[in-house]
Amino acid sequence: MPSSPVPTGAPPAEGPVAAADAAQMRRVAFSSLLGTVVEYYDFLLYGTVAALVFGTAFFPQASVAAGTIAAFGTFAAGYVARPLGGIIFGHFGDRLGRKKMLVLTMVLMGAASALIGLLPDYRSIGIAAPVLLVLLRIVQGLAIGGEWGGATLMVVEHAAPGRRGAWSGVMQSGTSLGFLLSAGVVAAANSLLTQAQFMSWGWRIPFLFSVVLMAVGLYTRVKVTESPLFREAAAKAADAEPPRMPLLTVLKQPRTALLAAAVGLGPFALTGLITTYMLTYATGIGYSVSEVMNALLIISAIGLFTIPAFAALSDRLGRRRVVLGAAAVGLVAIKPVYDLVDSGTPGLLILGMSLIMVLQHAMYAPLAPMLSELFGTRVRYTGASLGYQMSALVGSGLVPLAASSLHASFPGSTPLVLLAGACILASLLAAWRLRETRGDAL
């Protein structure tokens, strides 16, 4: 039985709020895109540098394998904080407005990233170094946990019903652009500096660069108007008190909340395995860092086109069909993809990573409109954020950590294939059970 929408906590509107005019819609989409780029640059940068540097800089007394696991453990700490950030910023975003929370999350993310760039290593301050690293990573997780839901709703709640997928796809492509930017800056620093220089201080440059990005992002973010749907709902608050605890309202529909979390497991697991853990895995089987970074840059560039395309396709075919089709193909493709990676040939590495990430983009792109359409306006920030960030916690936070642990005990790609396959299957089953939301009134 398809899941039912979570109630808003207020009477439904008599009719849909008028969609934003074209110029305003472009401003909202550009602001959300740029904000997403900045947030994901900061957040994903950590994963790239963790794979290359943090094991030795902050956990030098551990073995190579243990240091890698510890580095990814701090990486996972950010994902653990993401659902909490979604709940906190979702709560206030549902009660006070989307725009205010988006400004706050960007400031938190930029400040945490800059402080990571200034953080002394283990040799300088001992155990305080990894402790502070984990705390700053948690701040990053809280910020990114609140960012996605707010950026998504600013776009979806401004857009016409038949264009929610297309416009949210513009915003969603910011994840690829953010990673492309972070990977590009790391690759540039790695190529311009010697190995010793990069490991000693060069890795700090990309983190400090985030201050510049934050300033640009804030400038565009403060210029946009608040969501029209939120303004309408807030205006009705005098007649119908909004939910005091949006989270409790969301959890009164546990089936919807659970399916909203499960549908994103596949794409997030592929993100964790292909864009984060692949640096460790591929260099361990003989690829150079530059070969893997080049592959990551290519697949990120592909996402700039495929994510908007699949998001727009969900406006025509429906959210479920796009996710179901991609997940079904992904289950079949994941083993051959790792066979290509294991070939040891850089060209086949790029081919394998590109093929699976196109499928990842197809599963990922419809999530923004799909999750937004599952929840009512006065709990939408909380509900959409909780589902998305729980997927991120398991798929991109815990899966790379599990992959690192399993690969240390069971060399080869089989554990990675099984991990990815299980998460893709979860997405397929969740999408099958969710109702189609395309065109629903918000």
What string of DSSP letters covers 305-340? Answer: HHHHHHHHHHHHH-HHHHHHHHHHHHHHHHHHHHHH
Which pLDDT does position 268 carry in this prediction?
95
C-alpha–C-alpha distance, residues 192 and 21, integer Å: 46
Which pLDDT does position 240 carry in this prediction?
63
Which pLDDT does position 296 carry in this prediction?
87
Q: Does the residue 162 lie in any domain?
A: yes
Q: Does the residue 65 lie in any domain?
A: yes
Q: Does the residue 164 lie in any domain?
A: yes
Distances (CA, A) of 191 to 63, 183, 184, 188, 200: 26, 12, 10, 5, 14
Give the 3-state secondary structure of residue 441: coil
Q: Does the residue 289 lie in any domain?
A: yes
Backbone φ and ψ for 377, nearest 5 degrees, come out as -55, -40
Count of Cβ atoms closer than 10 Å to residue 223 Cβ: 11
Distances (CA, A) of 171 to 99, 150, 372: 15, 11, 14
Q: Going residue by residue through the chain, which has 442 residues, state the pLDDT in tens, using 9 for 90 and above.
A: 455 455 444 433 434 444 557 778 888 888 889 888 988 888 778 877 877 787 777 877 666 666 666 766 676 788 889 999 999 999 999 988 898 999 999 999 999 999 999 999 888 888 888 889 889 989 999 998 999 999 999 999 989 889 999 999 999 999 889 888 887 888 888 888 888 898 889 999 999 998 998 888 888 888 888 888 888 877 776 556 667 899 999 999 999 999 999 999 999 999 989 987 888 899 999 999 889 988 988 998 999 999 999 999 999 999 999 999 999 999 999 999 999 999 999 999 999 999 999 999 999 999 999 999 999 988 999 999 999 999 999 998 889 888 888 888 888 899 999 999 999 999 999 999 999 999 888 7
Count of Cβ atoms closer than 10 Å to residue 384 Cβ: 29
Helix ranges restricted to H, 318-410? 319-341, 346-364, 367-373, 380-392, 399-409
Structure tokens at 71: 């580095």
Beta-bridge partners for 375: 6
Give the HSE-up count for residue 279: Cα atoms under 13 Å, Cβ half-sphere.
Answer: 25
Q: Does the residue 356 lie in any domain?
A: yes
Cβ burial, residue 369 (10 Å; 0-12/13-18/19+)? buried
C-alpha–C-alpha distance, residues 379 and 225, integer Å: 20
Which pLDDT does position 8 carry in this prediction?
45
Run of H or E including 102: helix 98-118
Structure tokens at 271: 């993100």
Per-residue burial over 404-413, b = 16 or more CB atoms within 10 Å of its CB, e = otherwise: bbbbeeeeeb
Q: Does the residue 440 lie in any domain?
A: no
Which pLDDT does position 3 carry in this prediction?
53
C-alpha–C-alpha distance, residues 233 and 381, integer Å: 13
The number of distinct structural domains making up the chain is: 1
Distances (CA, A) of 299 to 2, 276, 285, 383: 34, 13, 20, 30
Helix ranges restricted to H, 162-288? 164-192, 195-197, 204-221, 228-235, 246-251, 254-262, 265-270, 278-284
Which domain does 407 fall in, by range? Answer: 22-226+245-433
CATH classification of the domain holding 324:
1.20.1250.20
- Indicate the pTM of the whole model: 0.85
Q: Does the residue 49 lie in any domain?
A: yes
Q: Which among 322, 330, 359, 303 is positioned nearest to 437, based on CA atoms? A: 322
Q: Does the residue 52 lie in any domain?
A: yes
